[in-house]
């Protein structure tokens, strides 16, 4: 069957909002990470949640059917859950078709393309609704040019993948706004893109355009404006350093914050690669980042201390702060520590 | 009209050979760079050339029609010319259809996809021939794993783009083979891929898979075997450094050779970016390359001295060799200089 081309996010990278959060039939909250992330960081863009039956999993938002959500102003239903493998199971598809019939677009960050399911493609066509895969980058990305842009930029970088770069960027953005700064959170991964309502999935961009995509993501802005950019990968991860370097060069950050998990000793999922030290990451980020912003500096360090006692976490952050001569904080703990990190970024 | 999917190079990355070189109707030899590159570096894989009329441009290979070339054993006609813009003009298409009718596949490195022209797609279907766009990476690339592979590897790197990385890798590969080494040239760009008869267009690979693609390009080999890998971009080019870093990490080279144009002072096509020094490139390549090969070392430097007198070029290479403490040679000049570079790579 010939497929109508799937409409993608518009050139301004924006997604249809507000959302209805789809929880599917999962009974394990950790599979609903995207929905919880949206409820935590973009509650004002969510009208409610929709689960298939009594699953026991809830974000705390009001329960609504797709039709009720549409009546409440929702523009899209977001798939807020992932299955192992990132597939869209048979059991969800009737609900997705219902959402399209109710006039909602569907937004997905799963590996399967929505339009690869004939019943979804057909229902989208019939209702003139969009099937939006946030893993697909916008089509009009060009190569980078290295030109210095106006406005200020902060990038989170990491000693590895999956240790808090998105979370840290969101927390810094929220703190900047709370202090009256003009700031945008710039998303580079699927969950971040759903939270922000736009962005570019940097790991899905063709290599030649990686820096250019980062340039597009944080365009010229007012001199005092901050773009707080979600980092990806690590310069020390042998699988993903290309993504990290293109993002660093194109973001041309004035300030970066190093994200680290103090309990991790090895690069995730690879054999034989030790985690770099925070100092190594600071040093290499400055060396490489200077190419597009000679004034780049480290604003501080964000520790992911989940699983540690409050006392141990506080002591570790204090000791590391002393040792590194930089603010070290876990954004979810210790207001004062985190305030010092924010102070130092805004210097 | 529904299009049959275009068959791509096989999983072993191999192209159909030998070739007939298509010169189109271009009257300016510089537009036929791909054909000249193939005639220079892969003459044993070319049965002849085919131009549209009396153009005055020739590689020196015998003139043949597609039918004559097929009778002489050709398996594919390669588009050996580029127009400004990289498009396939109307005037060439009947000749491309003739080649398909004669039983040849078509191989193209141009920007336009061959199958986007309905008459070519239709003729390929009718004759069960392939339309091969070498700019399209193979579909089965996975993320990198950083595992050390057997065999030895050399990568050419550069102070910038377009200053001799492909040419240097080809010359080193030829010299290695002449000395009795077991060696393969591993191509990473479109012309190199046509010369090698296979390879991966590294700039067209999705960023997340960049290092993984480089790992696939130079698989495990016999302990004494050399892969001589064509470099791409430069770690100091703010548009393309992501490509260069993924290629460096995935190639895990034992030896690298820095390619440089001594007359160039600024990064090509970008404003305000000074060319790095050769020492800067050596230092950063070792620092970043150590992640996947702690034994990485610089084998020497390749200068592109075209446009200089033989005397000036020789004096410059000698002076720079003295200054850097490494062999410096232009592969097209001075056998003795280049021999020292080869010696030092094979140490």
pLDDT in tens, B85-105: 778 899 999 999 999 999 999
Place B30 in a pLDDT band, splitting at 50, 70 and 90: confident
The whole-number pLDDT of residue A5 equals 39
* Selected residues 139-198 of chain B with any CB under 8 Å from a CB in chain A: 143-147
**Which residues on chain B are in Cβ contact (under 8 Å) with A204?**
206-208
Confirm or reject contact between B258 and chain A (CB < 8 A): no
Q: Is B218 inside a domain boundary?
A: yes
Q: A207 and B246: CB-CB below 8 Å?
A: yes
Q: Say how many domains are in chain B.
A: 2
Q: Which residue carries 């298409």 as its tokens?
A: B93
pLDDT on residue B140? 87
Say if A35 falls within a structural domain.
yes
The mean of the pLDDT values for chain B is: 93
3-state secondary structure A257-320: EEEECCCCCECCCCCCCECCCHHHHHHHHHHHHCCCCCCCEEEEEEECCCCCCHHHHHHHHHHH
A290 close to B (CB below 8 A): no
Q: Given B98, B133, B168, which residue is the final one in a domain?
A: B133
Same domain as B92, residue B180:
no
Q: Find the CATH number of the domain harbouring A62.
A: 3.40.50.720
- Among A65, A100, A133, residue at a domain's last position: A133
Asked if B241 and A211 come within 8 Å (Cβ–Cβ), the reply is: yes
- Using the beta-carbon criterion (under 8 Å), do A207 and B202 form an inter-chain contact? yes
Please tell me whether residues B38 and B165 are part of one structural domain.
no
User: Looking at residue B271, what is its pLDDT?
Assistant: 87
Axis crossing angle, helix B118-127 with helix B90-101, rounded to the nearest 10: 10
pLDDT in tens, B4-21: 334 444 445 789 999 999
Chain B contact present for A249, CB below 8 A: yes
Q: Is residue B101 domain-shared with residue B223, that is, in the same domain?
A: no
Is B158 in the same domain as B85? Answer: no
A123 and A162, same domain (yes or no): no
A50 with A173, same domain?
no
Domain holding A177, by residue range, is 152-346
State yes or no: pLDDT of A2 exceeds 90.
no
**Within-domain flag for A14:** no
Q: Which residues in chain A have Cβ-Cβ distances shorter than 8 Å to B249?
A: 238, 241-242
Let me know whether B97 and B126 are in one domain: yes
Do the domain assignments include residue B252?
Answer: yes
Q: Are B270 and B199 contained in the same domain?
A: yes
Which pLDDT band, with edges at 50, 70 and 90, does B152 fall under?
A: very high
Which residues of chain B make contact with A146, given a CB cutoff of 8 A? Answer: 238-239, 267, 270-273
Give yes or no for a contact between A277 and A242, defined as CB atoms under 8 angstroms apart: no
Q: Indicate yes or no: CB of B246 within 8 angstroms of CB of A249.
A: no
Asked whether residue B76 falls in the same domain as residue B185, the answer is no
Residue B129 and residue B64 in one domain = yes
**CATH code, domain with B256:** 3.40.50.300
**Statement to judge: residues B209 and B322 lie in one domain:** yes
pLDDT digits (tens, 9 = 90+) for B225-236: 999 999 999 999
Contacts of B240 in chain A (CB under 8 A): 143-144, 208, 211
Q: Is B67 a member of any domain?
A: yes
Last residue of a domain, one of A133, A164, A198: A133
Q: Is residue A141 part of a domain?
A: no
**B-chain residues near A240 (CB < 8 A):** 143-144, 208, 211
Is the Cβ–Cβ distance between A247 and B245 less than 8 Å? no
B258: left (phi over 0), alpha (psi -120 to 50) or beta: beta
For residue B4, being part of any structural domain is answered with no
User: Counting Cβ atoms within 10 Å, is residue A343 exposed (0-12), middle (13-18) or buried (19+)?
Assistant: middle
Beta carbons of B79 and B37 less than 8 angstroms apart: no
* Lowest mean pLDDT segment, chosen from A66-75, B9-18, B107-116: B9-18
Indicate the average pLDDT of chain A: 93
Does B5 contact A at CB distance below 8 Å?
A: no
Do A272 and B146 make contact, defined as CB atoms within 8 angstroms?
yes
Say if B5 falls within a structural domain: no
B67 touches chain A (CB under 8 A): no
Chain B residues near residue A241 by CB distance under 8 angstroms: 211, 245-246, 249, 288, 291
Asked if B156 and B303 sit in the same domain, the reply is yes
Whether residues A292 and B243 touch (CB distance < 8 A) is answered with: no
């Amino acid at each position: 069957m010939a497929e109508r081309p799937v409409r993608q996010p518009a050139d301004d990278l924006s997604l249809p909002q507000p959302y209805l959060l789809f929880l599917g039939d999962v009974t394990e909250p950790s599979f609903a990470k995207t929905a919880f992330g949206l409820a935590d960081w973009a509650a004002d863009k969510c009208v409610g949640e929709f689960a298939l039956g009594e699953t026991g999993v809830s974000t705390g938002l009001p329960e609504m059917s797709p039709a009720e959500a549409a009546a409440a102003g929702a523009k899209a239903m977001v798939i807020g859950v992932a299955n192992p493998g990132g597939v869209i199971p048979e059991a969800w598809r009737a609900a997705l078709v219902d959402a399209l019939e109710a006039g909602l677009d569907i937004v997905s960050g799963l590996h399967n393309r929505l339009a690869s399911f004939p019943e979804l493609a057909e229902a989208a066509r019939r209702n003139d609704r969009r099937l939006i895969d946030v893993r697909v980058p916008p089509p009009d990305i060009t190569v980078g040019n290295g030109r210095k842009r106006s406005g200020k930029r902060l990038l989170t970088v990491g000693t590895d993948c999956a240790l808090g770069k998105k979370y840290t960027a969101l927390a810094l953005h929220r703190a900047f706004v709370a202090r009256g700064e003009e700031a945008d959170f710039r998303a580079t991964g699927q969950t971040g893109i759903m939270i922000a309502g736009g962005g570019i999935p940097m790991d899905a961009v063709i290599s030649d355009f990686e820096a250019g995509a980062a340039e597009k993501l944080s365009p010229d802005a007012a001199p005092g404006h901050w773009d707080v950019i979600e980092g990806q990968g690590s310069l020390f991860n042998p699988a993903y350093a290309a993504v990290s370097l293109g993002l660093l060069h194109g973001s041309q950050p004035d300030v970066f914050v190093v994200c680290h998990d103090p309990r991790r000793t090895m690069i995730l999922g690879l054999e034989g690669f030790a985690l770099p030290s925070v100092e190594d990451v600071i040093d290499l980020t400055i060396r490489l980042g200077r190419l597009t912003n000679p004034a780049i500096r480290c604003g501080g360090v964000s520790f992911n201390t989940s699983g540690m006692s409050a006392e141990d976490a506080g002591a570790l952050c204090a000791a590391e702060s002393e040792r590194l001569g930089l603010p070290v904080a876990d954004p979810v703990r210790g207001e004062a520590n985190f305030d010092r990190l924010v102070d130092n970024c805004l210097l």
